[in-house]
Structure 1
Amino acid sequence: MKILFGIYQWCIACPIIIVATLLTAIGTLILAPFDKTYFGYYVPKWWARLWCWLLFVKVEVRGREKIDRNTSYIFVANHQGAYDIFSIYGFLGHNFRWMMRKGLTNIPLVGWACEAAGHIMVDHHNNTALKKTMTDAEKRLADGFSLVVFPEGRRTDTGKMGHFKSGAFKLAAEFNLPVVPITIDGSYQVMPRSTFNVTPGTIVLTMHEPIAPGSSQLDAKALAQKCYDIIHADLPKSMQ
């Protein structure tokens, strides 16, 4: 069965995904400047769902009732694997923009489409670049979008959570926004950092109660630790 699925993944699913990715990127590049709300989120959302459907990855979302569609949030999640991106993009159900590394814009078409869609490119090289990141984030939030951040900065190598950086939490304090911790469970089993092969399975996204800005008088470091503890506690022991 594993061999048959491998043949299906590389010979059938992947060519479809490549074509869909190119079409989505080109469409976003051309159309997102005219309507970032629709072409910067809803079109890529269905692209992300295609990645899941074609490779038999089920995504279950818990706690969505805690989120107000008309409120901007900063969502922070642990980063188990590549399918974190597809599961959140496809199934979060809230118009958002990613905060991503500036280097990703070097990917032909896909990186350019991300810029056109209005995702926030984080560049840590100098103060001028960081200031631009903050300005771009402020503009997206003013437009009513939310932001999604992986505070670990990269996918885990072992499946266990890494240290949370405080950048996203400083942003939450700066713009007085509620922070929503999201626990991702199952993505490491579906596609860990060490392979390009997918194992069909279920990914669970658990949205926790939003932490209101200033509600507990936490500084960015303490807020990062609070979110870490919430997400960490909701993972199976083997993933903690």
Structure 2
Amino acid sequence: MTLSSPPSVPPDPDARQREALRQVIADIERGHAQSGRPRLVATGFPAVDQDLPDGGLASGAVHEISGPLAHGFAARILSQLAGPVLWFRPQKEKALLYAPTLQAMGCRVEHWFIAYTPTPRDLLWGLEEGLRSGAVDAVVGEPETALTMTASRRLQLAAERGKTLGLILTGQQPGVHQSVGQLSPYQSVGQLSPSTLTSRWHISPAPSSDPAGLARWQIHLLKLRNASAASWSVDAEPGKGVG
């Protein structure tokens, strides 16, 4: 009897990408010490930080940022960090992160690693791996839809284990049930989709009367453990804000 060879199995592109990401994380980990990582990270706006219970955002936690200025607020936060950042974006995302603007805001983009993921599942997998590894100062993700309760809990636990700051950028609106429709960003947090993330923010432009045209941001704190919802109207310093 002649035994035939088993049919060849085509390589799994997702498996290759995941292994490549594991290698990137391992390389970062070898060259970056955890000991210097701050327990708290400032938002970059003193008026906001002084009103927060701990004076900043907790590292080892995940924070959601929504609104048209979500990327700008995230960049202000990331500019406070000296170590590497891992950023996950959907593969179909066409808008690029503009390095010169980020550098003008104080971000050390030479230490950033940006990964474009083919599926929402891959993006969540990458976020969880990056947060748990403890190899970077921060992990940023741009999921295409609101996180489920299970996904938010897994990411929060991974951040706590890796002592890593996590930022979730959700675009124009905070994560909400579709049936709620278009919410005012400062409505009751009870209308937000369930989540175990540590804080949730909405960032939008604010009216400015500055003769030089200095931009102002409206920063809404929708949810934070051990704190009440709040709102601030702040100046975006020259070279420190992006739309």
TM-score (norm 2): 0.38
- The structure where helix makes up a greater share of residues is 1
Q: Which has the higher contact order (CA 8 A, sep 6+)?
A: 1
TM-score (norm 1): 0.38
Q: Which has the larger radius of gyration?
A: 2
- The structure where strand makes up a greater share of residues is 2
